Amino acid sequence: MRDILENSSASSQDAVNAARRAARHILRPRFYNEAVSAVSDEGYTVQLDGKPARTPAARLLAVPSPTLAQALAAEWSAQHEVIDPAKMPLTRLANAIIDGVRERPGPVAAEVEKYLASDLLCYRASAPAGLVARQAHHWDPVLAWARETLGASFDVGEGIVHITQPEAAIAAARTAIPDDAWCLGAVNVATTLTGSALIALALARGRLSAEAAWEAAHVDEDWNMERWGRDELALERRAFRFAEFAAAATVLRALSQPA
């Protein structure tokens, strides 16, 4: 999930981008002394010096879990002289869900479903043997989980030539895409950041930890770095993406579904 839906013709990628753009203005000075979680009629909120925090669309920043509210309050407390949205991934995700996903979940779910047709886990290397083995080690258990738990049997091939997946597999996996806006928004973010709807669904169902899911998504990248050296700029970008992924995992953990 990258931002919020801006109009009826916007894609789900657009759906994730509006809330992000709203956070990219000149940094505001910190205007509050204390940020704490609280209970309200609309859920669990963040109070800034006793006043409720709001989203870029002026909606109440209210979440369905006290754990999430506490984590949000911690992000606000961690801001110092200025409020830096880049350092508040959970708040950005909450804003996107409240201001966008909650009102138009259909395109967001459709974006997750699109990844099922070309999931990362189904495209394997033919060589070297070490990479082939590492992909199998991280990816085969997720595919087995999808087959055994979701009833979704996906085909696997070598290289990048498109694999037409069985409609029955996509239909079965589609049923695991959450209806709840909070879980859906988090799964969308996890999907786009990993390139795998199956990894995101396994994370949502508790089959994978956040660390295992992130490692599985970066098998190829890690393999290349081990052989050709570290790219510090790429690692910096990856750390930023992991913070967003960890925010999604926090939402899913707080609203955990059965495996």
Q: How confident is the model at residue 25 (pLDDT cuts 50, 70, 90)?
A: low
Angle at 179 between CA 7 and CA 203, to 5 degrees: 110
- CATH 3.30.2180.10 residue ranges in the chain? 18-101
**Start-end of CATH 1.10.3580.10 domains in the chain:** 105-254
Q: What are phi and psi of 249, to 5 degrees?
A: -65, -35
Q: Is 116 exposed, middle or buried (0-12, 13-18, 19+ CB in 10 A)?
A: buried
What percent of the chain has pLDDT above 70?
Answer: 89
pLDDT at 18 over 80: no
Q: What confidence tens digit (pLDDT) does each residue in 67-108 have?
A: 999 999 999 999 999 999 999 999 999 999 999 999 999 999
Residue of higher predicted confidence among 8 and 78: 78
How much is the pTM? 0.88
Which of 245, 213, 204 minimizes the C-alpha distance to 139? 213
Predicted pLDDT at 14: 54
What span, in angstroms and rounded, lies between the C-alpha atoms of 106 and 15? 11
Angle between helices 210-217 and 197-204 (to 10 degrees): 170
As a CATH number, domain 18-101 is 3.30.2180.10
Supply the pLDDT for residue 256: 83
Model confidence at 1, pLDDT cuts 50, 70, 90, reads very low
**How does pLDDT run across 122-139, given as a tens digit for each residue?**
999 999 999 999 999 999
**119, pLDDT greater than 60:** yes
Residue 87 DSSP class: G
pLDDT of residue 230: 85
Q: CA-to-CA distance for 73 and 38, rounded, in angstroms?
A: 9
pLDDT in tens, 174-196: 999 999 999 999 999 999 999 99
Which CATH number does 105-254 carry?
A: 1.10.3580.10
Which whole number is the average pLDDT over 39-44?
Answer: 93
For CA atoms 42, 44, 48, 54, give the dihedral sign: negative
> What is the Cα–Cα distance from 18 to 37, expressed in whole angstroms?
26
Tell me what the mean pLDDT of segment 55-75 comes to.
97
Taking alpha carbons only, the member of 203, 189, 211 closest to residue 222 is 211
The pLDDT of residue 12 is 43
**H runs (alpha helix) in the chain:** 12-22, 66-77, 89-96, 105-116, 129-145, 167-174, 181-194, 197-204, 210-217, 219-228, 232-254
Mean pLDDT of 106-111: 97
